[in-house]
Structures are given as structure tokens and as C-alpha cells.
Amino acid sequence: MLWTNRGKFLMLNWVFCAETLPDNFYVALITSAVVPTEDTTTFDELTEIADGNGYTEGGYELFVDSSSPDFDVLTEDDVNDRAIIQIKDLVWYAPSGDTIPASGDGARYAVLTDGTGESGEIIGDRQVLAVWDLMYERVVAAGQSLTLANCELRAVEPA
């Protein structure tokens, strides 16, 4: 997992400067066309997988809600000197006869973005907070699913 500099800035801004927390976040799947780095700022810098066949443009919507938390595990780990929050399991199903992505390259990365924008060009304005490397390009076969289990966000003191 990689925090972007924008993600670090926003987290500190939300907590210590009392900026308004977004109502929702998204986890989107992107290709390897552009490798996300610490300097990635907005979603329009990346290439999202093709919409359709069980994947929705902009990604999986996550809510900040105490009644049914999408960020479902929070841990203070004194042994490893870190804090961890996990996202609930995210599942994308490819319907019978179709694959995810609907066309083009498979998903190499998952990115956490803020909830700016809802469709079209506005999605590109979303700020990229964190990145998970899926290790290779993932294509979901017809009738199968892709599950991202317990994606973690870690706050670790540098060594």
C-alpha cells in the first residue's frame, strides 16, 4: 500500500484543520498504462479499466457511516508501532459470458479516491489518497469474481 502525498496532506487536513470529511470514498481499478506514485494527485492522471460487465466507472463506493462501516477494522498495533484501518471486502462479479474489464487492459492497481464528482469528467477531479498494487494485470473471467480482501491503510512512523 502506498499513500500519495495528496492523501497524506488530506488526512492531516481533515483531522487537524477540521476540514469537512467527504461523505464517501471510492476504490477504483486502474491499468498499468500510468504507474501511480507518491506524486499522483488526481484520478485523471491514471487510466481506469473499461466500464461495464460488473465494473462501474469511478469504482466501488465506500461510505463513512458508523451504522454499516465500509472501513470495518481499526487496530492500534504497539508491537509494530503502527495503526491500521481496513476496508471491507470489495467484490466485482463478471456476469456469465462477459469479462471485467469489458475491453482493454486488466486492472493492475486499485486506488482510493475521495468522493469528488459522480460521473463523467468530474470523476477525473477525484483526489487519489492511496494505491494498492495487485502485482499483475487482473482480468476477471466470465462467471468469476475479483475480491480485494481487507485493503489496509497504515500509519507507520518512518524508521
With a cut of 80, say whether residue 92 has pLDDT above it: yes
Lowest mean pLDDT among 49-53, 54-58, 144-148, 155-159: 155-159
Query: Can you give the pLDDT at residue 65?
Result: 76
All cell numbers assigned to 114 = 475521495
- Quick: pLDDT tens for 29-88: 999 999 999 999 999 999 999 999 999 999 999 988 777 689 889 999 999 889 999 999
Domain boundaries, the chain: 2-156
3-state class of 155 per DSSP? strand
Q: Using CA atoms, how far apart are residues 32 and 47, in angstroms rounded to an integer?
A: 8
- SS3 sequence of 96-108: CCCCECCCCCCEE
Q: Using CA atoms, how far apart are residues 49 and 29, in angstroms rounded to an integer?
A: 6
Mean predicted lDDT score pLDDT of the chain? 92
